[in-house]
Chain A
Amino acid sequence: MTNSAPLVALVDITKRFGGVVACDRVNLSLHPGEIHGVLGQNGAGKSTLMKILIGLVLPESGEIHIRGVAHRIHDPQVAAALGIAMVHQHFSLVEPLRVWENVVLGEVSGIDAARARTDVREIGERYGLEVDPDARVSDLTAGQRQRVEIIKCLRRGPSILVFDEPTSVLTPAESLELFAVLRRVVQEEQRAVALVSHKLDEILHATDRVTIMRSGRVVASIPTSEATAPSLARAMVGRDVVLRSQSAAAFGLVEMIADELALEAPTVGAAAAAPAVLKIVDACARGAGRRTLLDGLSLEVHPGEIVGIAGVEGNGQAALGDLLSSLLELESGTVEVNGEAVPTGKAGAMADAGVGVIPEDRHASGCVLEMTVAENLVLDAPHALARHGLLDRRAVRDRAARLIDEFDIQASSPEAPMSSLSGGNQQRVVLARELSRQPKVLVAAQPTRGLDVGAIEYMGQRLRAAADAGVGVLLVSSELEEILALSDRVVVLYRGRIIGEMSRHDVDLERLGLLMGGEAA
């Protein structure tokens, strides 16, 4: 199949962000009738490359050939006109609108509701993407939303489809369905598909050819049939994989980690003996529109252990993070920290009780982008650095300097605005502040999302060190690998409640997958 002329050829693409090279003379060809995997760790440059292809980012040098002709794609509209479409990692849907309305959004002709509805049904039947065209998107699950996204894409009849980490919001079963859809899309209409992922099993399972990127460069491009998990892992990381290393979190090495884990001695007993430092009992909460967020969630975290919350996104992870950030008030149920009940939804109550949080969206509730780095480092306790209500500037500066040093935060100065920092350094600021108040409980929600591999490794080390120092760590992540690599105990969150638990030494991947889909108890 790869002998046919390429539909897309990216030639010598180079792109820098400041001093960082995101893509360094990258070459990539997509052929019709082929699913092409683009594999790499977070920060390897694969997302930037795809953004260049669909016109969201302009390259500094290099050429893009579509069907043999060079094009300058400076706008997503241009890409769309050339038949390139992307299914976005974070959805491009408008929640209060109906499915068919979302599907026609962004087209230019007049509105034909009847035809749009038929199209949704037809495309749904042909590819196994059934969804009610008149449903409101806000009522759909993450998996259904992705279907809408794909239908929206396919309705425009693109010849080149880009999927950016499409399984991050899906259960294992839904992921398999998605790959079946991709196969049909490719074979029946001779389209080209690029599947961007950092998960080895996905690439091995679903693609025909794989291009592996590392630090902005292509290190290999081979037929998938010639690849094995260890060879891909080696190419991705650039060295033989040391499975005991914390950085295993960054890979899609589920099976290998599981093998590794089976060899480890159980360590849970010791931690469980101490009284729980965080105890949530029967937590129930509703959000806007009376939608259930938490539905009888009960959870205990003991000092010195890392409890991993596994589960598909959208099952209450955000609500749990909000609860422990005092951003959500419970309808019923209790939260105890160190044996004392803490009122929920009361400003600052959780923080005062000793709960540190590295939030899922640090821009929304972890830092203030418009304030300086120093100010962000003292957000929690300005009064501790004040005399008679006046902020002691020197004390603020000293504390900031100390934390910047201790956590190796790269900032031009403590007075630099938070918004000028890279994502990894912003995350370090949050981490530094939260750890500096010596929390009893540390909640880390998707702590490595959007970070490069060095930052991921650092974050893992810090969480482990915190647990070793006696902090009860709650790790919420949609990356199963991350959870398996770091946690002492894994619990599964499904529809706002904990539906299963297993300790690190007897993780059963099959059962875990079923639990995440809500299929077993």
Chain B
Amino acid sequence: MTATITEAEATEVAGPSKLRDAVIVAAIYLASIVGALILSALLVGVTGGSWRKVFSALIDGSVRNDGAWGQTLSGMAPLLIVATGAIVSTRAGLVNIGQEGQLLVGAVFAAYLGNHMSGPGPLVIGCALVFGAFGGALWAGIAAALRFGRGVPEVLSTLLLVFVAFPLLDYALRYKSLLLDNDPTVKQQLNTGTQLPSDRRLPRIDFFGNEFHFGVIIALVVVLLGALVLARTVWGFRLRMFGLNPRTAQRMGVSAVVMGTAALVVSGALAGLAGGVLLAGTPDYRITVGYSRSFGWNGLLVALLARNRPLLVIPMAFVFAALRTGSNYLGATGVARDIVDVVQALLVLALLIPPAVLFIRDRRRAVAATSARV
């Protein structure tokens, strides 16, 4: 009861000065982002680097150099797909934070099929991507089975499965019958997977000198499709109902086991698909130890930054991809590229603050409104 009153009055109070409020909101967001960047710059400065050089190198690497746009766009693709999947599970009220592992397993599955299946190239790529998605779904499916069969919190099982995924890849990289490079012309390459044959890679698209791979198109389709499914379909409606109030949903015919498993499996499948896209789209086209290289974590952070709104994922993924590609150019500055991870995490933390501040402000206002005349 109290809650209803508070909210009703909060909106009532917020009415009159909408423009001023919008300015304040924008200012709080800006301050948080600038704060995170200043903190990062300080870190660089304190450890003996030059933040100007770092900044300049990041811009060069991500957008200013020739063809940098293409690289950044290519880097966006897996992030977009992972983030869309993360949004699906979050909408269902589930905390899947093991995308790193799911992506890795997806890449393993895609690499296996991509090298071992016979048939026309495009068909093989298609099948490899689907198989990659299957791998990711399988990995998330384990967490779903543990959650709904045995009551293990999916927060923990998805995380632990990340640490099982890495040895799985290492194992597959030991045997030629699995993933180890079997090119007879090359000397034995330890811990390196077979390169995908040239007809089994995602086509590259040249756009005014910026080259990016077809995975970008796939990713955009996934994002748009995800937005449509979540906003407009019966399934999305029921998914949202389940995430917000599982008891009501159960009464209305949404089974926790079915819907919860579906949400986890879909989010895992998308992470797996991202792994496949990464493999079939990134030059060298071969899997190596530790292949996921934080794409899973970053995709998850992108979803968090976008506050689980599918379309907001696009600009957020761009920022993260730019930081990633830019970090390749940090070598000359003498600053370790891990600084990029720091910046990303700080951004996530910083952007948690504004909505919280606004929430607390609205509550204070509501309380003040009820006690103003005492």
Chain A contacts to B: CB under 8 angstroms:
17-18, 57-61, 72, 74, 325-327, 346-352, 357, 359, 364-371, 375, 379-380, 382-383, 386, 389-391, 419-423, 450
Contacts and interface: CB of A to CB of B under 8 A. Distances in A.
B251 A365 contact: yes
B241 A368 contact: yes
B256 A421 contact: no
A57 B372 CA distance: 12
Interface residues of B, number: 35
Contacts of A58: 370-371, 374
B5 interface: yes
Contacts of B3: 419
Contacts of B370: 57-58, 60
14 contacts: A18-B9, A60-B374, A325-B250, A325-B251, A348-B250, A352-B253, A364-B247, A364-B248, A371-B241, A382-B237, A391-B232, A419-B3, A419-B4, A423-B1
B14 interface: no
Nearest 7 Cβ contacts at the A-B interface = A348-B253, A347-B255, A58-B371, A365-B247, A325-B251, A368-B245, A382-B234
Given A357-B251, A420-B4, A74 B233 contact: no
B188 interface: no
B244 A327 contact: no
B256 to A, nearest CB: 7
B349 interface: no
Contact of B237 (A57, A350, A391, A420): A391
Interface string B254-266: 1110100000000
B373 interface: yes
Interface in B227-241: 232-235, 237-238, 240-241
Contacts of B248: 364-368, 379
Interface of B: 1, 3-5, 7-9, 11-12, 232-235, 237-238, 240-241, 244-245, 247-256, 258, 370-374
Nearest to A63: B374
Contacts of B233: 386, 389-391
Given A74-B371, A423-B4, A380 B250 contact: no
A349 B255 CA distance: 10
Nearest to A59: B374
Given A74-B371, A352-B253, A450-B1, 7 more contacts: A58-B374, A326-B250, A351-B253, A364-B248, A371-B241, A382-B237, A383-B234
Given A17-B5, A420-B7, A423-B4, A348 B240 contact: no
B235 A389 contact: yes
Given A326-B251, A347-B256, A351-B251, A421 B4 contact: yes
Contacts of B371: 58, 74
**Chain B at the A interface: SS class:** helix
A450 B240 CA distance: 28
B17 to A, nearest CB: 20
A367 B256 CA distance: 17
A386 B234 contact: yes
Contacts of B238: 382
B247 A351 contact: no
Contacts of A391: 232-234, 237
Contacts of B373: 60-61
A408 B256 CA distance: 33
Contacts of A359: 251
A350 B252 CA distance: 9
A390 B237 contact: no
A57 B248 CA distance: 31
Nearest to B248: A365
B251 A370 contact: no
Contact of A368 (B8, B244, B256, B372): B244
Contacts of A422: 4
Q: Which of A59, A379, A390 has the most CB of B within 10 A?
A: A379
Contacts of B12: 18
Nearest to B251: A325
B5 A380 contact: no
A367 B251 CA distance: 10
A465 B251 CA distance: 24
B232 A348 contact: no
Nearest to B257: A347
Nearest to A433: B252
A420 B251 contact: no
Nearest to A349: B253
Nearest to A421: B4
A383 B253 CA distance: 12
B232 A390 contact: yes
A345 to B, nearest CB: 9
Nearest to A18: B8
A59 B371 CA distance: 7
Contacts of A357: 251
Contacts of B254: 347-348
